[in-house]
Amino acid sequence: MATASDKIRRARPLLGTFVEIEVTGAAKSAMNTAIDAAFEAVAWVHRLMSFHEPDSDVSRLNREAFVRPINVHDWTYQVLQAAVEMHRRSNGMFDIAVAPELQAMGLLPGANDQNPIDAEARAFDPIELLEGQKVRFRQANVGIDLGGIAKGFAVDRALEVLRGFGAAGGIVNAGGDLAVFGEAPQAVHIRHPRDPRRLICSVEITDGALASTARRFDPFQSADTASSAIIDPVRRRPAPAIDGATVRASSCMTADALTKIVMIAGTDATELLEHYNANALLISTDGDVQITPDWHHAVYLAA
Amino acid sequence: MTQWVRYTLPAAAIVSVASPAYAMQYLSIEEAQKQAFPSATHFTEVQAGRVWKAEAGGRVAGFFIFDRVIGKHLYIDYAVALTPSGGVHAVEILQYRESYGGEIRSPSWLAQFVGKNSGSSLKINGDIRNIAGATLSSTHITEGVKRVLAAYGNRLR
């Protein structure tokens, strides 16, 4: 059955979704070894940053970081640095400390027995990054969830592994958050947020990352959409008016985090997108598609 | 400040009849077996089309179980590789089918994405291979693996 081919694509269930990895332009055995190592990098990010795994860095921080500084893995520290910077630059719109709200909504397990802190009583920046990869929370009852950024980081690490194996090209797609490298442009089709069976457009991408966020739906239950899992940290409730957002950036971590801001800020996110050298496409509740001006040449709409 | 470009989607882009249409083939059963147990010299079928024993030099290297989960919009073939002691060694997706509008594979449907705005044409022709948007949950696979472990984890040792 093993035929000579210059391309291998495989998929595994990881990060609560399907992670798909493709490599091109190397010997078959080398490509399979690279894909195995890339899947391992994704699994490692999951073990470090899962809210659900009791031994993850995130769970250790949520249990103890208010009591004492906690030492975390270099990768976790990098993600926290990026998240804290994104939080500051977006004036709090990007916020990893919304775990108590997500728990209260039933979107994360284990509702806090103590009440979440009032929005007013909460410090703007409760996460303190210390020397030597140590992290401390400035307030009690702070709960972080890296669900809005860690998937993008996992994609970046997997792509880095593929590059390290000297493949000509590759793509890592973690349930829609993806990154590509190599000469050949890739076409990515974006689902319609209100009807996941429909594809709304095709986006062309070369050497870069693309992340998407949409209102929540469960493809096994129904195509009907439920409310978004994006919380507006200022109003502490689900963000309105936009059904879906897709962001292109040089890293998938940045693209992943920026989708959350675009879902809340819409076209007001322009300045921040420019700062991160990113482009965006958003689908508003009235069905209109809006694209940042320097990017529409790469977007092909279904019509 | 520069303006975002706004497009209004026609109703046709939103309404469609759903039918199984999009399929992604990753690995065949044989390829997945070799991938899970590279040192294995042969695979003995223990249960037809479903369970194989991997052997390397006369020793049991592990077991390979083929399974399928079916949801409302997704059909997924996957394989669980078990260690000789019945633990999960790897889970690999073999094939993935999604229901989209039935026209999705037709050349005319694919052609609709070409040159819709700035006049440049899409450099890549052919298939829909990369899909983004709302994340799909892999919960059914997780449940499937639990079921496989309950059914075979102890029995195959």
ipTM here: 0.77
Cβ separation of A220 and B138 shorter than 8 Å? Answer: no
Q: In whole angstroms, how large is the CA radius of gyration of chain B?
A: 21
Rounded Cα distance between A8 and B27, Å, is: 9
pLDDT tens sequence across B51-63: 999 999 889 999 9
Alpha-carbon distance B156 to nearest alpha carbon in chain A (angstroms): 23
* Residue B135 in domain: yes
Check residue A300 and give its pLDDT.
82
A109 and B CB contact within 8 Å: no
Token pair for residue B126? 């052919």
- Does the structural domain A185-301 have CATH classification 3.20.20.80? no
- Mean pLDDT for B128-156 is 75
C-alpha angle A118/A122/A124, rounded to 5°?
A: 140
* Residue B51 in domain: yes
* Residue B10 in domain: no
Residue with tokens 């089918």: B97
pLDDT in tens for each of the 303 residues of chain A? 334 458 899 999 998 888 999 999 989 889 999 999 999 999 999 999 998 889 999 999 999 999 999 999 999 999 999 999 999 999 998 989 877 777 777 777 776 555 555 555 667 789 999 999 999 999 988 899 998 899 999 999 999 999 999 899 999 999 889 999 999 888 888 888 877 667 788 899 999 999 998 876 443 333 334 445 566 666 555 555 788 999 999 999 999 999 999 998 899 999 999 999 999 999 988 878 899 988 988 888 765
- Kindly write down the DSSP assignment for every residue of A179-206, as one continuous string: EEESSS-EEEEEEETTEEEEEEEEEEES
**Higher-confidence position of B109 and A259:** A259
Parts of chain A belonging to CATH 1.10.3980.10: 57-137
Alpha-carbon distance B124 to nearest alpha carbon in chain A (angstroms): 7
* Residue B53 in domain: yes
| pTM confidence score | 0.84
Parts of chain A belonging to CATH 3.10.520.10: 185-301
Alpha-carbon distance A204 to nearest alpha carbon in chain B (angstroms): 7
* Residue B63 in domain: yes
Rounded Cα distance between A117 and A123, Å, is: 10
Residues of chain B positioned with their CB less than 8 A from the CB of A290: 4-7
**Total number of domains constituting chain B:** 1
- b/e burial code for range A238-266 (CB count within 10 A of at least 16 → b): bbeebbbbbbbbebbbbbbbbbbbbbbbb
CB contacts under 8 A, A 38-77 vs B, are: none
B92 and A CB contact within 8 Å: yes
CATH for the A57-137 domain, from 3.40.50.720, 3.30.200.20, 1.20.810.10, 1.10.3980.10: 1.10.3980.10
- The whole domain housing B75 covers 18-105+130-152
* Residue B6 in domain: no
Residues of chain B positioned with their CB less than 8 A from the CB of A187: 113, 122, 124, 128-130
* Residue B80 in domain: yes
* Residue B121 in domain: no
Residue with tokens 């199984």: B20
Cβ separation of A288 and B74 shorter than 8 Å? Answer: no
